[in-house]
Chains A and B, each alone.
Chain A
Amino acid sequence: MSFLRELSEARGVSGHEGEVRTLIFGKIRNLVDEYRVDALGNLITLRKARVHADRPVPKKVMLAAHMDEIGLMITEVAKNGLLRFSPVGGIDPRLMLAQKVLVGDKKIPGVVGVKPIHQLKPEDMKQILRHDQLGIDIGATSESQAEGQARVGDYATFDTAYEELGEVAKGKAFDDRAGCAVLMELLKADYPFDLYAVFTVQEEVGLRGSRVAAYAVEPDCAIALEGTVCDDLPKKKDISPTTRLGAGPAITVMDHTFIAHQGMLRHIVNVAEKNGIPYQFKQPGIGGTDAGAIHTAKEGVPSVTVAVPCRYIHSPVLLLSLKDLENTVALVRETLRTLTADIIRPE
Chain B
Amino acid sequence: MKELVKKLTETYGPSGFEGQVRELIAAEIKGLADEVRTDALGNLFALKKGKDSSKKALVAAHMDEIGIMVTHVDKNGFLRFTRIGGIRPLGLPGVRVVFGNGVTGGIGVEKLDDRAKVPDLDKMYIDVGALDKASSPVQVGDAGAFFQPFVAQQGRWIAKAFDDRIGCAILIETLRKLKKPQHDVYFVFTAQEEVGVRGARVAAFAVDPDFAIAIDITVAADTPECPPAAMELGKGPAIKVMDNGMVVHPGMKNWMVKTAEDAGIPYQFEVLEHGSTDAMAIQTAREGVPSGVLSVPTRYAHTGCEMLDESDVQNTVRLLVELLSRQVELA
Contacts and interface: CB of A to CB of B under 8 A. Distances in A.
A26 interface: no
Interface in A257-304: 258-262, 281, 283-285, 295-302
Contact of B206 (A238, A239, A240, A299): A299
A112 B296 CA distance: 56
A237 to B, nearest CB: 9
B71 A238 contact: no
The interface residues of chain A, by DSSP majority, are classed as: loop
B40 A285 contact: no
Interface string A234-267: 0000111000000000000110001111100000
A346 interface: yes
A254 B72 contact: no
Nearest to B207: A299
Which of the listed residues B22, B40, B83, B206 has the most CB atoms from chain A within 10 Å of its own CB? B40
Given A281-B140, A296-B202, A347-B22, A254 B41 contact: no
Contact of A346 (B17, B42, B69): B42
Contacts of A346: 37-40, 42
B21 to A, nearest CB: 12
Contacts of B83: 285
A240 B80 contact: yes
A7 B257 CA distance: 61
B71 A285 contact: yes
A300 B204 CA distance: 11
A254 B64 CA distance: 15
Interface residues of A, number: 25
B16 A347 contact: no
Contacts of A297: 202
Nearest to B197: A296
A260 B41 CA distance: 10
Contacts of B140: 240, 253, 281, 283-284
Given A284-B82, A296-B202, 7 more contacts: A240-B72, A259-B15, A259-B195, A283-B82, A296-B198, A299-B205, A347-B38
Interface of B: 15-17, 19, 22, 37-43, 69-72, 74-76, 80, 82-84, 122, 139-141, 192, 195, 198-199, 201-202, 205-206
24 contacts: A238-B74, A238-B75, A239-B74, A239-B80, A240-B140, A253-B141, A259-B15, A259-B16, A259-B195, A260-B16, A262-B17, A262-B19, A283-B71, A285-B71, A296-B198, A298-B206, A299-B39, A299-B40, A300-B41, A346-B37, A346-B40, A347-B19, A347-B38, A347-B42
